[in-house]
Amino acid sequence: MPNGTNQNTQSNKNTQNIQNAHYHPSTAQVHAGFDPGSNADSVTPVVYPNAAFWLEDVDHGHHVANGDIPGFLYSRVANPTVGFLERRVAALDGAAEAVAVASGMAAITYALLNAAEGGGRIIAPYDIYGGTFDSLRTLLPRFGVTTTFVDDINDTKRIEALIAGDSPDALDAEGRNAPVKAIFAETVSNPRTVITDVEALSAVAHRNGIPLIVDNTLPTPHLFRPIEHGADVVVYSATKALGGHGNAIGGIVTSGDSFDWANGRYPQFTEPEFILGEAAGRAPRSFVDAAGPLAYIRRLRLKYLRLTGAVLGPFEAYQQLLGLETLGERVSKETASAKTVADWLSRRDHVTAVHYTGLPYGPQRALADRLFPLGVGSVLSFELEGDDAADQTARAKELIDHVRLFSYLANIGDVRSLIVDPANITHREFTPAARAKVGITPGLIRLSIGLEDPRDLIADLDQAFDAAYLA
């Protein structure tokens, strides 16, 4: 057999394996979603920097534009390198499909608007990322999407009551009782690592014909695959542990294929969509007609990514693909070290509380064992002793100004260890009332543990504590 033919057979076999086989995660993180045989026999993912792609001839161009045959048209809609990342994350997440976007915030905005646009309500806890809180509280309402914040997202009775609308709290700011279109929560919250019971919450959501959308940025698919536990849509800031090197901003939305978007609550998926029907010279079609159970993720790409344009660049996609190749190794080592550091902090003078559900005690122990047997990730937080708020602020400043190994910056999930004071940097968006609910105090310090030796990290913190409490 000539060499070329042989190679071809090889690569076809490869493609089939990658698309059909359910590889274990550590295999998927270096192979899934990329076919060397269609990419000049390169085994590392190839960067396609094209803005647009050759359409060959008019017939071919029309078929590609109408989606009748696979192919690329323009990188605002889809790009091969970004596609490798999308397929790899979908495989790791146990998802049916993924769309990569320019940032975690773009992923969250698109995911929520795609479900709740046109007058809808979201139920979410206070305990969420500062940018998400600010968007839900002050920006999305201007687009007709309001949010009812709850103290405890695991209080399923209260959530059921809010959906039923039989609680006065269900009224939005204008006193209208907008229909609930989605429940949103972080699987593990930032910075206190509170766990959401995705199984219980998705059961409540599904009983009421509502999807559960979760932000799984902290655990990553290595520690938790939300769709397998009932979530319908998952968002990631790929900037964090997914990419893992603090060198590229990016976001991902993944989706399962079991939620019924044609249940009557979401007309945007069942009404005729011009670009799917008439524009292609066909009878009118909706996203549900065209994509069935993948209607949600296809619509997110074609309406939100294509028309508002927060695309991930192919170079950033490549950096994140490289980062993903060591996802499991990084996250498991960082999680083990986070546990070691949290345990040390819980015994250190001048620490009044450690917030890390990965420790073998605490109110969420049973839930952590059930949903997170491999741990909750590399982020943890703790509170500094102080006479009052001003004293705590001063101690936090001294501690942060004296660390040498930890980097003081507003990121998490890096291979380098990071430190921050959430009250002043990452959670500034929280109102005083919301801060009190979530426990963003002046003495709260957040750590993101990297790949350094935990003994060096502990020694660094120890000398910074000594400096902060010298006077």
Ligand X SMILES: *Cc1c(COP(=O)(O)O)cnc(C)c1O
Name the residues that contact ligand X, by CB under 6 A.
103-105, 129, 131-132, 186, 190, 215, 217, 237, 239-240, 249, 251, 412
Q: Is 188 exposed, middle or buried (0-12, 13-18, 19+ CB in 10 A)?
A: buried
| Closer residue to ligand X, CB minimum distance, 128 or 162 | 128
C-beta of 405: minimal distance to ligand X in Å? 22
| Closer residue to ligand X, CB minimum distance, 82 or 464 | 82
238-269 burial: b if 16+ Cβ within 10 Å, else e: bbbbbbbbbebbbbbbbbbbebebbeebbebb
| Closer residue to ligand X, CB minimum distance, 216 or 268 | 216
Cβ–Cβ < 8 Å for 312, 101:
yes
Give the CA angle between residues 16, 18, 22 to the nearest 5°. 110
C-beta of 379: minimal distance to ligand X in Å? 8
C-beta of 385: minimal distance to ligand X in Å? 27
C-beta of 102: minimal distance to ligand X in Å? 8
C-beta of 414: minimal distance to ligand X in Å? 12
| Closer residue to ligand X, CB minimum distance, 89 or 351 | 89
- 291, two tokens: 């994509």
CB nearest ligand X: which residue? Answer: 104
C-beta of 250: minimal distance to ligand X in Å? 6
| Closer residue to ligand X, CB minimum distance, 217 or 393 | 217
Cβ–Cβ < 8 Å for 329, 378:
no
- 164, two tokens: 């039923």
| Closer residue to ligand X, CB minimum distance, 320 or 393 | 320
| Closer residue to ligand X, CB minimum distance, 210 or 241 | 241
- Closest Cα to residue 305, out of 75, 84, 126? 75
Look at strands 418-420 and 97-101 and give their pairing. Answer: unpaired
| Closer residue to ligand X, CB minimum distance, 242 or 302 | 242
C-beta of 104: minimal distance to ligand X in Å? 2
- 141, two tokens: 């309402």
The dihedral built from the CA positions of residue 324, 328, 334 and 335, taken in this order, carries a sign that is: positive
End-to-end CA distance of the chain: 80
C-beta of 421: minimal distance to ligand X in Å? 16
Look at strands 444-448 and 379-384 and give their pairing. Answer: antiparallel
- Distance, CA of 106 to CA of 250 (rounded, Å): 9
One-letter amino acid at 63 equals H
| Closer residue to ligand X, CB minimum distance, 133 or 259 | 133
C-beta of 445: minimal distance to ligand X in Å? 16
| Closer residue to ligand X, CB minimum distance, 215 or 414 | 215
| Closer residue to ligand X, CB minimum distance, 386 or 450 | 450
Q: Where are the beta strands (DSSP E) in 351-457?
A: 351-355, 379-384, 407-408, 418-420, 444-448
Q: Which residue has the tokens 């559960």?
A: 212
Query: What count of other Cβ atoms lies within 10 Å of the Cβ of residue 471?
Result: 7
- Distance, CA of 85 to CA of 73 (rounded, Å): 18
| Closer residue to ligand X, CB minimum distance, 34 or 149 | 149
C-beta of 266: minimal distance to ligand X in Å? 24
Query: What count of other Cβ atoms lies within 10 Å of the Cβ of residue 286?
Result: 20
- Distance, CA of 115 to CA of 210 (rounded, Å): 9
- 170, two tokens: 């269900």
30-42 burial: b if 16+ Cβ within 10 Å, else e: bbbbbbbbebeee
193: left (phi over 0), alpha (psi -120 to 50) or beta: left
C-beta of 237: minimal distance to ligand X in Å? 3
C-beta of 448: minimal distance to ligand X in Å? 10
